[in-house]
Amino acid sequence: MPADYKAELVGVLGQPVAENPTGAMQEAAFAAAGLNWRYLTMEVPPAQLARAVEGLRALGFRGFNLTIPHKVAVMPYLDDVAAEARMIGAVNTVRREGDRFIGENTDGKGFLRGLRLDAGVDPRGKRVVVLGAGGAARAIATEIGLAEAGEITVVNRSEARGRGMTEDLRRNLACPIRLLPWNGTYMVPEGIDILVNATSIGLFPDVHSMPAVDLAHASAGMLVCDAVFNPPETRLLAAARERGLPTLDGLSMLVYQGVIGFEIWTGRTAPEQVMKAALREALTGGA
């Protein structure tokens, strides 16, 4: 049988993307699974997004990821968007069906899987605070709500953006949704079960920043989660550990959304441990 040198292609579109480690994780997974697939990290400015998507279509890409600033802007250029991604209002993963590009959102699903598997916490009936009202916050809050959280409180500095997010959540979720203004320092009240930083505060290179939150009155056992994955040990998580609170870092969400993306694209079970090791190695040098 003649050799087949044609690689299947996937990748990520964003700006900036030079420090996005997803390629290292997915390439390791493809190698472990014996798949001749390649993951390309592609810098695409907003003005070129439509042309980039059509280029991927013409080149036969099997799918791709979106990161900042394309998760919402890409939606008009796709052939369809899955119901949950439409509910969230953002797409981070695209799969190919024939000649059609279908938008999905694996961010919230990745967070939820990490919450259950890595932190051992089921959000059902829990009181949750989500900091932020961007794409990650929407995805996380939506999936937590669909998992029957007891109550979700959105804390955001922009009242208009926060109101838009909470109104959308109320249309789609059964649990109570509250909005609180984030003026100055937010003091986490007693009785909260899960606190999630879904902002980019603390993301490299701004590693010395921390969301303006006060954990002094947090209940013992409150889980503190950070969607920031670089660095894995953010100042928020360090502050939580100093108080003896359990934590869940952003590597968990990133690896599990990648696991789900791998499975969507390839139809294979993802090598989760390989992906976790590759991601940690890429971000921490194995430390």
Are the folds of 8-105+252-284 and 108-248 the same? yes
Question: Does 3.40.50.10860 match the CATH number of domain 8-105+252-284?
Answer: yes
- What is the pTM (predicted TM-score) of this model? 0.91
Question: Does 3.30.300.30 match the CATH number of domain 108-248?
Answer: no
HEC profile of the chain: CCCCCCCEEEEEEECCCCCCCHHHHHHHHHHHHCCCEEEEEEECCHHHHHHHHHHHHHCCCCEEEECCCCCCCCHHHCCEECHHHHHHCCCCEEEEECCEEEEECCHHHHHHHHHHHCCCCCCECCEEEEECCCHHHHHHHHHHHHCCECEEEEEECCHHHHHHHHHHHHHHCCCCEEEEECCCCEECCCCCCEEEECCCCCCCCCCCCCCCEECCCCCCCCEEEECCCCCCCCHHHHHHHHCCCCEECHHHHHHHHHHHHHHHHHCCCCCHHHHHHHHHHHHHCCC
User: Does residue 71 carry a catalytic annotation?
Assistant: yes
* pLDDT of amino acid 3: 64
* pLDDT of amino acid 284: 79
Q: Catalytic residue among 6, 71, 126, 276, which? A: 71
Question: What are the residue boundaries of the structural domains of the chain, listed by start?
Answer: 8-105+252-284, 108-248
Average pLDDT over residues 166-183: 95
| Band of pLDDT at residue 2, cut at 50, 70 and 90 | low
